C-alpha cells in the first residue's frame, strides 16, 4: 500500500464530484424538457398544473429508491418537492399562454 499525497487524492475526488454535478445538471435539463411537454399537454386539455396523487406516489417511490441507494429518504423528498415546485410553476406559465391547436 502506498501513501498517496492527500492533495492528489482530494483533486481526484473533486474531479469526480465535478463530473457528477455536470451529469446531474444535464439530467435535470432533460427532466425539465419532458415536464415542459407535460405542461403544454395539460394546458391544451385544461388539466390542473399539479397532480397531488402522482406527487405522493413519486415521493414514496423516490424514498424507497433513496433507501436502496443509502441516501437519506428525507433528502430525496426535499429534492423532489423543490423540483416539483419548479415544474408546477412551469405548468402554470404554460396554462397562462395561448395554446396552438
Which pLDDT does position 94 carry in this prediction? 84
pLDDT tens track for 59-93: 999 999 999 999 999 999 999 999 999 999 988 88
Average pLDDT over residues 11-27: 98
Question: How far apart, in whole angstroms, are the C-alpha atoms of residue 28 and residue 75?
Answer: 17
Q: What is the DSSP code string of 25-48?
A: HHHHHHHHHHHHHHHHHHHHTT--
Q: Are 62 and 54 in contact (CB under 8 A)?
A: no
Conformational region of residue 72, where left means phi above 0, alpha means psi within -120 to 50, and beta covers everything else: beta
Question: To the nearest whole number, what is the mean pLDDT of the chain?
Answer: 93
Model confidence at 1: pLDDT above 60: no
Q: Which residues contact 84 (CB under 8 A, 6 or more apart)?
A: 50, 55, 58
Which pLDDT does position 23 carry in this prediction? 98
Amino acid at each position: 500500500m502506498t501513501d498517496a499525497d492527500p492533495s492528489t487524492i482530494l483533486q481526484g475526488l473533486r474531479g469526480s464530484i465535478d463530473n457528477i454535478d455536470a451529469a446531474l445538471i444535464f439530467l435535470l435539463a432533460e427532466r425539465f424538457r419532458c415536464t415542459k411537454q407535460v405542461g403544454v399537454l395539460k394546458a391544451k386539455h385544461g388539466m390542473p398544473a399539479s397532480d397531488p396523487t402522482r406527487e405522493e406516489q413519486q415521493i414514496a417511490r423516490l424514498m424507497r429508491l433513496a433507501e436502496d441507494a443509502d441516501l437519506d429518504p428525507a433528502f430525496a423528498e426535499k429534492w423532489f418537492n423543490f423540483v416539483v415546485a419548479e415544474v408546477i410553476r412551469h405548468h402554470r406559465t404554460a396554462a397562462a399562454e395561448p395554446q396552438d391547436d
